[in-house]
Amino acid sequence: MDGLLVVNAGSSSLKFAIYTVDDTLPDPLWRGILDGLPKKPHARVVDQHGNELINQQVALPAGDPALAPSRWLLAWLSTLNEIELKAVGHRVVHGGTEFISPVRIDGEVMIRLQALIPLAPLHQPGNLIPIQAITNHYPTLPQIACFDTAFHRSQPALAQLYALPDHITRQGVRAYGFHGLSYDYITSRLQDIAPQHAQGKLVVAHLGNGASMCAIEGGKSVASSMGFTALDGLMMGTRCGNLDPGVLLYLMAQGMDHTALEHLLYRESGLLGVSGLSSDMRDLLASDVESAKRAVAMFCYRAGRQLGSLAAALQGLDTLIFTGGIGEHAAPIRAQIAMRAAWLGVAIDPDLNNAHAPIISPPGSKVMVRVMATDEEAVIAEHVRSWLLLDSTEH
């Protein structure tokens, strides 16, 4: 059977899925994650019916520790004798202004992707490592990069610019936006289930350990809460979100260097920093500690404020969609954000919300509020299928 592999690599995990080349099976044949990296690698793999094939700690191959997770995946893939891989799709966080659609990776493209590492230092290297590992093992296998930033290149020029001198803007300092593969999936899925709403004014709230919101109209990105980096906008699990740059100048004057600031902003802030307890929203919602309640309240306040800003960019709001781990599963968070957006016409039915229904707004509401599961791997698979089809017609 001809198959394609989708790889979604992060700093502490490696997600993957194997799909058929045709789309007769909408769900992947297998889906898995290798997490707990690098110290306690744990693998979980399920088949298309949800049956668990692996759920245990594993030993990674010896050699370069950076390549070890990808080499473990390749070793596991070698046991699937019934699958012949035709292509691999990768989530790549940053495509800069140049890569606005999926692209086949070759030596030149790889060099250009590596040049973008300074724009996403904690994400881009991890995205590129599996590409190198697979190239080493399957040098002729087509690999396709799909970019989190590409979805946002439809934004108006003014939405992508900062009030900085032009020579700095020309260095690539501009608002890129992220989580684009998630937004791509949601808009495509909405087109399937409610095409009359998909062309309207939407705000999609991708709320998880990383969190952002995107204003979408006519299926195109209009504005996003994230900007130059994945630090901007909403408060997140360990990331600060929107921050006065004067704070950084102050901390530098107090002696913090680049490494210390990077660790503070990416690893020690957000829900974890405010609560002093956890970066996991589930832990905070279950806690009676005052700092945990403050972190939850701040998260919802910031999300409500950002929603108002994005509605202004759209000049209206027809649909609000919650997705991501928090967006899909944390009813109290959805309720608090909706309460702060009542002035926009946002309302939710408590019973529908607590049941995590697909539509949680009451009938006849001015703004439809939906809960939708996102699937970045599925949209990457679709991009790779499209590339394979195009490549076959050209040859």
Would you name the residues annotated as active-site residues?
Answer: 148
Give the Cα separation of 380 and 212 in Å (integer). 20
Q: Residue ranges of the alpha helices (H) in 147-289?
A: 166-169, 180-193, 195-198, 245-253, 258-267, 270-275, 281-285
Q: Rounded to the nearest 10 degrees, how much is the dihedral formed by the CA atoms of 299, 238, 236, 154?
A: 160
User: How would you class 149 by CB atoms within 10 Å of its CB: exposed for 0-12, middle for 13-18, buried for 19 or more?
Assistant: buried
> Distance between terminal CA atoms of the chain?
22
CB of 139 closer than 8 Å to CB of 192:
no
Burial label, 251 (beta-carbon count in 10 A; 0-12, 13-18, 19+): middle
Question: In angstroms, rounded to a whole number, what is the distance separating the alpha carbons of residues 280 and 209?
Answer: 7
Cβ atoms of residues 304 and 340 within 8 Å: yes
Q: Would you give the distance in Å from CA 58 to the centre of its chain?
A: 26
Tokens matching residue 255:
């002696």
Chain centre to alpha carbon of residue 273: 22
Cβ neighbours of residue 106 closer than 8 Å, sequence gap 6 or more: none
Would you say 237 and 266 are in contact if contact means Cβ atoms under 8 Å apart? no
Measure CA 11 to chain center: 13
**Side chain identity at 199, as an amino acid letter?**
Q
